[in-house]
């Protein structure tokens, strides 16, 4: 497998694993902060590991552009994953927790 292929496989794995962990934790706990922290931890671990691997593939000054371009790609991907995860969890919170909260609010208003 070429370095380019490994680059894209690691980017895809970061996207899929970050999303899976974040969404599954959100589904079980219904807490945005806990699920975002879990997804971000996975995202950070994959990004740091990928950046370390990419830097070791292109050592030295003669590969400076290749190294920096790959690191930039991993950083942009990590930020995109975090933003997508947050929006997905906020949508889940609205769908999971939003309906019951509105019903409880209506019931509370009726009790008064």
> What is the tens place of the pLDDT at every residue in 7-56?
999 999 999 999 999 999 988 988 889 999 999 999 999 999 999 999 99
Instruction: Count how many domains the chain has.
Output: 1
Query: What tokens were used for 21?
Result: 């962990």
pTM for the predicted model, two decimal places: 0.77
Q: What angle do CA 67, 73, 75 make, to 5 degrees?
A: 100
Q: How confident is the model at residue 93, as a pLDDT?
A: 83
Domain membership flag for residue 43: yes
Structural domain range at position 14: 3-107
Residue 112 lies in a domain: no
Please give the Cα distance from 89 to 110 (Å, whole number): 30
> Cα-atom radius of gyration of the chain, to the nearest Å?
19
């Amino acid at each position: 497998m070429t370095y380019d292929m490994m680059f894209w496989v690691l980017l895809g794995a970061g996207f899929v694993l970050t999303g899976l962990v974040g969404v599954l934790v959100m589904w079980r706990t219904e807490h945005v902060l806990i699920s975002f922290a879990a997804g971000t931890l996975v995202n950070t671990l994959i990004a740091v590991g990928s950046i370390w691997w990419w830097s070791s593939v292109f050592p030295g000054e003669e590969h400076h552009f290749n190294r920096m371009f790959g690191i930039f790609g991993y950083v942009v991907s990590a930020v995109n994953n975090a933003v997508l995860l947050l929006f997905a969890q906020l949508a889940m919170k609205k769908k999971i927790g939003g309906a019951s909260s509105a019903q409880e609010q209506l019931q509370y208003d009726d009790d008064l």
